[in-house]
Amino acid sequence: MWCHEHFNLPEAPDIVTFSKKMLTGGFYSKKEFRPTQGYRIYNTWMGDPSKVVMLQEVIRVIERDNLLHMATQSGDVLVKGLRTLDHKFPQHINSVRGRGTFVAFDAVEPAKRDAIIGRLKLQGIHAGGCGDRSVRLRPSLIFQPHHAHIFIDKLETVLNAL
């Protein structure tokens, strides 16, 4: 479930943080990194026990419906399609990267990035910007390969229009 688990590390990371997509915010760490006093770490997403109950159900559905495997398959389709567009439109995009459906690519300049995001919205696609050139995607876990094909088709339409 955690990205670091994909790398077969000899030991777990010192600290792992999480937030909104886990329905609560927090971290877990090795014992030596834990604060010695309570409530030294505080954020607006903690302190609501109902979030833990909801998170338990979300994790149950993720496991029952094999959604992490689906995210891997969908991400493979998404990255392959983006790399095809990267080669077809090097004057617009490059640097495709990601794991699962947590994917990004760069526009060649900030104005093009903004145009891509704006035109995707007109196509009914929500994508976020990061930095001054990156377009990032983080769809929900129910995102499937056919959704990836829809996204690639819409992005190709946008890139053809630039």
Range scoring the smallest mean pLDDT among 17-21, 37-41, 145-149 = 37-41
Q: Nearest-5° angle of CA 106, CA 137, CA 135?
A: 25
Please check whether residues 144 and 83 belong to one and the same domain. yes
Both 48 and 118 in a single domain?
Answer: no
- pLDDT tens for 21-51 read 777 777 788 989 887 877 666 666 566 778 7
Among 11-20, 68-77, 145-154, the minimum mean pLDDT is found in 11-20
pTM over 0.85, yes/no: no
Tens-place pLDDT, residues 88-123: 999 999 999 999 999 999 999 999 999 999 999 999
Q: Is 131 left (phi over 0), alpha (psi -120 to 50) or beta?
A: left
Which range marks the domain in which residue 44 is found?
3-64
52 pLDDT tier (thresholds 50, 70, 90): confident
Domain co-membership, 80 together with 46: no
Q: Fill in the amino acid letter for 123.
A: Q
Query: Domain ends where: 27, 44, 64?
Result: 64
Domain count, the chain: 2
Q: Are 42 and 83 in a shared domain?
A: no
Q: Which among 99, 96, 98 has a CA at the least distance from the CA of 72? A: 99
Average pLDDT over residues 120-139: 96
Task: Report the sign of the C-alpha dihedral through residues 99, 101, 102, 103, in that order.
Answer: positive
Cα 150 to the chain's mean position, in Å?
Answer: 17
> At 104, which amino acid appears?
A
> In the Cβ-directed half-sphere of 24, how many Cα atoms lie within 13 Å?
16
Q: What number is the average pLDDT over the span 55-72?
A: 94
Average pLDDT of the residues in 64-85 = 97
